[in-house]
Amino acid sequence: MALYALFEGAIPGTLSYAIIFLLPVLYIGYSLYLHPLAHIPGPFLAKLFPVPLWILTYRGIEASTLTAEHEKRGPVIRIAPNEVSVSDGAALAPIYISKGGFKKSENYTNFHIEGHPTLFSALDMDHRALRAKAVLPMFSTSSIRKHGWHTLKAAASQWADVLESAKHSSSSSSSSSSSSPRRINILCSARALALDSLSAYLFGRRYGALDELLSAPQDTPDPSFTADAFVNAFVAFGRFFNLPPPLFHLAESLAAHTSFTPQIHASIADVDAYAASIVADAAGANTAKPSGSDPQSEAGEEEEEEEEEEEEEGNTYQARLLRAGISPAEAAAQCKDLIFAGTDSTGMNLATIVFHLVRNPAVYARLRAEVLAMPDDDDDDEGADLMALPYLSAVVKEGLRISMANPTRLPRVVPVGGVTLPSGHFLPAGSIVGIGAHALHMNARTFGDPERFWPERWLGDGGGGGNAEMMGRDSVAFGRGGRACVARNLAGVELYLGVERVVRRGVLEGARAVGERVRVLEWFNARVVGERIDVVWGA
């Protein structure tokens, strides 16, 4: 009636009714037949409104639903009026790699931290470049192996201690006639390892998550660490990722006010305090200068000693940002973004690998034989021997493929001039296009029997199932191109060390997985249903 009132008096009644009727008809006709994406197949409602996509995302079934749609309609489908999904790995190059890839969509701004664009969420490449240049050297494989190997190995060994303690607790409970074996949430402890690893190497101060788990009383029913609730809360915001920023912030605010428990608030405050503390320490170290000394008069040996000390104390992630001119507030936000992303994704990937090792005794036995054949000593200072183990590498690759810590599309904006995809479909400038890990990793034509955990597929010895070149191309656990995960090398080392430590120590002997598979909500960051991946030891 409001629309009718607008025309009343200015346009005869019959004509106004006709206009009101024709407007939606014209919109539908344009969307279906005249829109630049009209030639792209897709569900009827998706061509008209973005709401169906928002609902799929909120329900946590977006990725698997789109994969099924691709199987039915082809490699390029329209999933919203101005958005398409692609399941063809050949399109990775033009979308994400060539010339730096297409610009990220505005949805990424939904993941700014306290208003600060992060290395992950920034759209302005010049803004990002200043920050990336300051910290990217820390993420090179050579730097990680040279400066972080022993630190990361120590954290992985402590994780094995945590699992050994949990094994004892679970086995003890199973020996009691009054109780069944106690379930141990390996997702929680894997996250603790990820957090302690990244914080020790990048920030120069271990968060202490593994210490929290080890210090928990043996009879604690479900031990956790302080930052775990912070990670879970941030994961949950991923269900709103596809909303336009104004709607996202409204949904974010409502969710925070209605679902944040005192535990979540306390967890966020703890992470805030940690981030503020490491930034404050770095700021103090950057401004502290020795007084009364003449640099020109120092002996060469003394200069070398000071340079080594600076390398140790002033070369942290946050110190590098501050020296690049980044404000302390933003540096803390960048650290919190790294805490969330590095803890959630690596924890998810590592826990999934352990789950499947427990469920596949033959895989576990083969991996353990390979690991035990390599001496456990410190001669391999930078991990070259460990990282070269073929079956361990295959297990890690298969774990990344099947885990899909980020299963959904990574949307990009088609640039001026448009793009013709390898499939022959033309996408005009301004349209949104994305490829999701689920659509690629669950493609049976690339990965035979894709739901099976099968490391042999990666060995290239004829015992796997799939085309090696296509499998390598279509493995996108960390994204692709210039905007791929900056911490992918660090995450890889954490996975190799974490798996090697628990397998070498025999911690998984006698373990049973709870459930047939890891069920997830397919948000931007996958959320395990119940936030648990459980194993038990004992009868």
Tell me if residue 271 falls in helix, strand or coil. Answer: helix
**Burial of 294 (C-beta count, 10 Å sphere; 0-12/13-18/19+):** exposed
Tell me if residue 366 falls in helix, strand or coil. Answer: helix
- What does each C-alpha distance from 420 to 76, 93, 429, 433 come to in angstroms? 12, 12, 11, 12
Whether the CB-CB separation of 226 and 265 falls below 8 Å is answered with no
**Burial of 187 (C-beta count, 10 Å sphere; 0-12/13-18/19+):** buried
User: What radius of gyration, in Å, describes the C-alpha atoms of the chain?
Assistant: 26
Using CA atoms, how far apart are residues 154 and 53, in angstroms rounded to an integer? 44
- Could you identify the residue written with the tokens 């295959």? 394
User: Do the annotations mark residue 188 as ligand-binding?
Assistant: no
Tell me if residue 161 falls in helix, strand or coil. Answer: helix
Parallel, antiparallel, or unpaired: how do β-strands 534-537 and 432-435 relate? Answer: unpaired
Whether the CB-CB separation of 196 and 490 falls below 8 Å is answered with no
> Could you tell me the end-to-end alpha-carbon distance of the chain, in angstroms, rounded to an integer?
69
Using CA atoms, how far apart are residues 407 and 436, in angstroms rounded to an integer? 6
**Interior/surface letters 471-497, b for 16+ CB within 10 angstroms, e for the rest:** bebbbbbbbbbebbbbbbbbbbbbbbb
Alpha helices in 79-227 (DSSP H): 92, 125-135, 141-143, 149-175, 186-198, 209-215
Using CA atoms, how far apart are residues 449 and 291, in angstroms rounded to an integer? 67
Read off the tokens for 188. 């929680």
Using CA atoms, how far apart are residues 205 and 382, in angstroms rounded to an integer? 21
- What does each C-alpha distance from 421 to 33, 60, 101 come to in angstroms? 21, 28, 13
Angle between helices 186-198 and 488-505 (to 10 degrees): 130
Residue type, 476: V
Annotated binding site: 485
Annotated binding site for heme: 485
